[in-house]
Amino acid sequence: MSLIDKFVARLEQFGRFGFYLVSLLFVLWVMYGVVAYVIFGATMFHDTEMDAWCREHHPNLSYAACYEKAGV
């Protein structure tokens, strides 16, 4: 008996409540992923005007060196 079969057998003991519980946990897990992406992913990969300026004026420098040169 596989691990998934054991999990489903255990879940069937709880009936409808188990289904709702697993559904709720899945929805919360997805919402956590969306919130984590919005907080960390969207801000981490956001291209700022300063990044665009650095690419245009100092394409061979890293962003950190460009920011330092710009006095930011």
Task: Return the number of other C-beta atoms located less than 10 Å from residue 61's C-beta.
Answer: 14
Tokens of 36: 């984590």
pTM: 0.46
Task: Return the number of other C-beta atoms located less than 10 Å from residue 29's C-beta.
Answer: 10
DSSP 13: T
Contact 8, 19 (CB under 8 A): no
| pLDDT for position 66 | 82
Q: What confidence tens digit (pLDDT) does each residue in 27-49 have?
A: 999 999 888 887 777 666 666 78
Contact 65, 51 (CB under 8 A): no
What is the Cα–Cα distance from 5 to 18, expressed in whole angstroms? 15
pLDDT tier for residue 5 given thresholds of 50, 70 and 90: confident
